[in-house]
């Protein structure tokens, strides 16, 4: 995750990943006449055409039905969330620029610098805004988003991400429950609220997006009678005595999973079929439009699960109309063949993310950096990338994708100053020996088989890795050949055991978050998945060493390195006018990340979107995905 959406959420530091994890292969779209390099599309107007038509969107990542990103939803679920969320105070355009949303704001926000170095931004929203159920939207609903999605209440109910107001004054005390009041968020009147950005986050490279917030219905999430109040010291949630902890827990669980969402975005979630993993959405006629006043015109969206092997067949036969973010060479070549036959179109763009091996860095062999580095030397990533992407991708060596402007500006340095971990059995063995993997199972000098390391307590740890992958996953299948069954891996003294589960179950193990206690126990050392980055590249919470935050679900690698944490935080703490300083911080972080290797990038590929050419004005790109681009698209039967 994504990656690029209309800012239905506050784009805080925690949201550097559009999703902490998404499927190894997702699907996304864009329309046009095909050329060898992509397509040209018609310019869209700033107002919607007469509503009508239907588009069926296919995705190889199956929906789980957990719509909110604060627990463990995947990339497909997050698409649904972004289709139904909207009316944020700040929104992004297709070039990654941010704008005050004049559609919901009565006037441009005011900003005041405080004596302590903090900054207070005051917002005034328009009258007449409503949720999809007709309930009035007031300033309290914008404040409610910060309060609810930053709250200890969500943490106590299993949420894994609660940094909606991470950059705001008083977040830490509020998030941990030390204070019931969020001092940096103030409800002034029915139309007015303010946000105080902490001095710790000044300056900030993405200062406008930093203060974005969208409306939330507390009645829907917690129950009737819940209110946002402010007695002069900051905003807080007031819960009536009639709502018990058990009742609130049940309400939250329902709100996460119900199709009957109370929301304020361009579409309403009308239904969800668990058996077929299919969601149906319809235009929200209460939606006021995005920052340009643009409203959707495609009446119905059907979002369904497709299998990688048959996705393009479904496009050909009309079972789906749109497949986005096709990434493998086989898929792309087959899609281009289909376009040549007529009736279909495509577009292509470099990815703002990558496919990866994710390491658990807090237990077992992968807690040791030289083991992670050795694994990198035992996977020929150039060959892997070539095989999987068919030439439509390249290898990266840090936490970035080839579609990112930061990479384009720093390509020469990133390509030459980061370790490429070139394929080498000798280098892998050298690293393992340096790290103490020099014993056999009996504690004698290693000669063959699985290596062992003697720990401080005298016990022997085997160099045996548990790998979790998702079913019907072509990246996993290639990893079996290129890594698990690679003879050099065995020669190096490493054994890799694969377990295959559904992607939803994989995420439970990855996040270590579920009602089932078995998922909370560290079990797997390796996961293969993919991720995308939103334009705000701020990994401040991704590698935190704050144990309270790690316990809440941040730092899903569980890597504890003070320097990496410091460098991650430094990136966005740059004056917006200092692009050179921002890039210096970006490069310094990437160098440390490349050394510690919490993840191993496998490929950053060129995405292709394939679709029925009845879809017009569809202009998705690396940061402007299906959930944003569909608002401007039309259907021409």
pLDDT for residue 517 is more than 70: yes
pLDDT at residue 81 in the model:
97
pLDDT at residue 311 in the model:
96
Question: Helix, strand, coil proportions of the chain in percent (round to 5)?
Answer: 30, 25, 45
Structure tokens at 263: 């929301």
Q: How far is Cα 370 from Cα 294, in angstroms, rounded to an integer?
A: 52
Q: How far is Cα 487 from Cα 41, in angstroms, rounded to an integer?
A: 49
Residue-by-residue DSSP string for 31-87: --EEETTEEE-PPPPSS----EEEEEEEESSPP-S---TTTT--HHHHHHHHHH---
Q: What is the mean pLDDT of residues 114-132?
A: 98
What is the band of 552 on the pLDDT scale with cuts at 50, 70, 90? confident
Which has the closest alpha carbon to 550: 161, 92, 6?
Answer: 161
Q: What is the mean pLDDT of residues 240-263?
A: 96
Residues 10/460, Cβ–Cβ less than 8 Å: no
pTM for this entry: 0.85
pLDDT digits (tens, 9 = 90+) for 318-358: 999 999 989 899 999 999 999 999 999 999 999 999 999 99
pLDDT for residue 9 is more than 70: no
Structure tokens at 353: 């993310």
Q: Give the pairing of strands 322-326 and 599-612.
A: antiparallel
pLDDT digits (tens, 9 = 90+) for 146-184: 999 999 999 899 887 778 999 999 999 999 999 999 999
pLDDT at residue 342 in the model:
96
Q: How far is Cα 152 from Cα 129, in angstroms, rounded to an integer?
A: 29
Q: Is the peptide bond before 203 cis (omega within 30 degrees of 0)?
A: yes
pLDDT at residue 37 in the model:
30
What is the band of 548 on the pLDDT scale with cuts at 50, 70, 90? confident
pLDDT digits (tens, 9 = 90+) for 39-71: 333 333 444 457 899 999 999 889 999 999 998
Residues 559/541, Cβ–Cβ less than 8 Å: no
Which has the closest alpha carbon to 325: 15, 625, 84, 618?
Answer: 625
Q: Is 4 exposed, middle or buried (0-12, 13-18, 19+ CB in 10 A)?
A: buried
| 11-20, 257-266, 439-448: the lowest-pLDDT one | 11-20
Q: How far is Cα 249 from Cα 237, in angstroms, rounded to an integer?
A: 15
Burial letters 416-453, b for 16+ CB under 10 A, else e? eebeebebbbebbbebbeebebbbbeeeeebeeeebbb
Residues 484/467, Cβ–Cβ less than 8 Å: yes
pLDDT for residue 3 is more than 50: no
Residues 169/195, Cβ–Cβ less than 8 Å: no
pLDDT for residue 480 is more than 70: yes
pLDDT at residue 49 in the model:
53
497 vs 21: which has the higher pLDDT: 497
Q: Give the pairing of strands 495-501 and 615-616.
A: unpaired
Q: How far is Cα 397 from Cα 386, in angstroms, rounded to an integer?
A: 16
pLDDT for residue 487 is more than 50: yes
Percent pLDDT > 70 in the chain is 92
pLDDT at residue 161 in the model:
72
| 58-62, 114-118, 258-262, 376-380: the lowest-pLDDT one | 58-62
pLDDT for residue 21 is more than 50: no
Cβ neighbors of 471 (< 8 A, separation 6 or more) are: 500, 501, 502, 503
Helix spans in 103-205 (H): 139-149, 152-156, 171-176
Residues 289/577, Cβ–Cβ less than 8 Å: no
Q: What is the mean pLDDT of residues 207-222?
A: 96
Tell how far CA 264 is from the center of its chain. 21
Q: How far is Cα 123 from Cα 604, in angstroms, rounded to an integer?
A: 39
Element (H, E) at 626: helix 626-629
Q: Give the pairing of strands 464-470 and 52-59.
A: unpaired
Residue bearing tokens 């805080």: 12
138 vs 33: which has the higher pLDDT: 138
391: left (phi over 0), alpha (psi -120 to 50) or beta: left
pLDDT at residue 13 in the model:
29
pLDDT digits (tens, 9 = 90+) for 579-633: 999 999 999 999 999 999 999 999 999 999 999 999 999 999 988 999 999 999 9
pLDDT at residue 516 in the model:
86
Q: What is the mean pLDDT of the chain?
A: 91
Q: Is 528 helix (H, G, I), strand (E, B) or coil?
A: strand
Half-sphere exposure in the Cβ direction for 556 (13 Å, CA): 24
Q: Give the pairing of strands 52-59 and 322-326.
A: parallel
30 vs 449: which has the higher pLDDT: 449
pLDDT at residue 451 in the model:
98
């Amino acid at each position: 995750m994504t990656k690029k959406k209309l800012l239905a959420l506050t784009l805080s530091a925690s949201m550097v990943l559009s999703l902490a994890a998404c499927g190894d292969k997702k699907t996304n779209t864009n329309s046009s006449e095909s050329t060898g390099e992509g397509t040209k599309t018609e310019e869209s107007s700033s107002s919607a055409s007469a509503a009508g038509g239907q588009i069926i969107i296919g995705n190889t990542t199956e929906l789980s039905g957990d719509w909110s990103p604060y627990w463990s939803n995947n990339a497909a679920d997050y698409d649904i969330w972004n289709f139904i969320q909207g009316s944020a105070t700040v929104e992004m355009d297709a070039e990654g620029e941010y704008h005050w949303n004049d559609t919901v704001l009565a006037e441009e926000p005011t900003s005041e610098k405080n004596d302590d170095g903090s900054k207070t931004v005051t917002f005034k929203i328009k009258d007449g805004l409503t949720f999809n159920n007709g309930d009035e939207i007031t300033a309290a609903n914008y404040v409610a988003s910060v309060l609810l999605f930053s709250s200890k209440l969500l943490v106590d109910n299993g949420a894994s991400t609660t940094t909606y107001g991470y950059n705001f004054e008083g977040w830490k005390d509020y998030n941990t429950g030390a204070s019931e009041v969020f001092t940096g968020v103030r409800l002034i009147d029915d139309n007015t609220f303010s946000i105080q950005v902490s001095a710790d986050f000044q300056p900030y490279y993405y200062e406008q997006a930093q203060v974005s917030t969208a409306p939330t219905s507390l009645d829907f999430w917690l129950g009737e009678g819940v209110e946002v109040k402010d007695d002069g010291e900051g905003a807080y949630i007031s819960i009536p005595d009639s709502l018990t902890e058990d009742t609130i827990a049940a309400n939250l669980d329902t709100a996460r999973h119900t199709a009957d969402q109370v929301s304020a975005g361009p579409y309403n979630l009308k239904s969800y079929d668990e058996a077929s993993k299919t969601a149906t959405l319809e235009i929200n006629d209460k939606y006021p439009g995005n920052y340009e006043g643009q409203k959707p015109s495609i009446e119905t969206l059907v979002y369904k699960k497709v299998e990688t092997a048959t996705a393009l067949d479904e496009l050909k036969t009309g079972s789906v109309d749109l497949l986005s973010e096709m990434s493998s060479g086989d898929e792309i070549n087959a899609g281009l063949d289909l376009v040549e036959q007529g009736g279909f179109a495509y577009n292509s763009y470099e990815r703002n993310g990558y496919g990866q091996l994710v390491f658990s860095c807090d237990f077992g062999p992968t807690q040791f950096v030289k083991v992670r580095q050795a694994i990198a030397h035992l996977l020929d990533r150039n060959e892997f990338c070539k095989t999987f992407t068919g030439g439509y991708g390249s290898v990266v060596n840090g936490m970035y994708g080839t579609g990112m402007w930061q990479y384009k500006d720093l390509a020469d340095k990133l390509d030459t100053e980061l370790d490429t971990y070139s394929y080498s059995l000798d280098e892998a063995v050298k690293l393992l020996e340096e790290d103490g993997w020099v014993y056999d199972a009996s504690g004698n000098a290693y000669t063959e088989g699985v290596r062992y390391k003697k720990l401080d307590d005298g016990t022997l740890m085997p160099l045996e890795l548990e790998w979790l992958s998702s079913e019907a996953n072509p990246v996993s299948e290639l990893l079996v050949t290129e890594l698990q069954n690679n003879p050099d891996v065995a020669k190096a003294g490493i054994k890799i055991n694969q377990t295959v589960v559904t992607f939803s179950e994989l995420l439970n193990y990855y996040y270590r978050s579920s009602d089932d206690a078995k998922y909370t126990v560290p079990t797997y050392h390796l996961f293969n998945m993919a991720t995308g980055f939103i334009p705000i590249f701020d990994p401040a919470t991704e590698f935190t060493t704050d144990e309270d935050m790690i316990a809440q679900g941040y730092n899903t690698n569980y890597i504890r390195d003070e320097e990496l944490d410091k460098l991650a935080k430094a990136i966005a703490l740059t004056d917006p006018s200092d692009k050179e300083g921002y890039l210096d911080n970006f490069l310094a972080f990437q160098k440390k990340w490349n050394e510690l290797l919490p993840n191993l990038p496998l490929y950053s590929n060129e995405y292709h979107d394939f679709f029925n050419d009845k879809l017009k004005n569809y202009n998705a790109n690396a940061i402007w995905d299906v959930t944003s681009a569909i608002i401007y698209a039309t259907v021409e039967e």
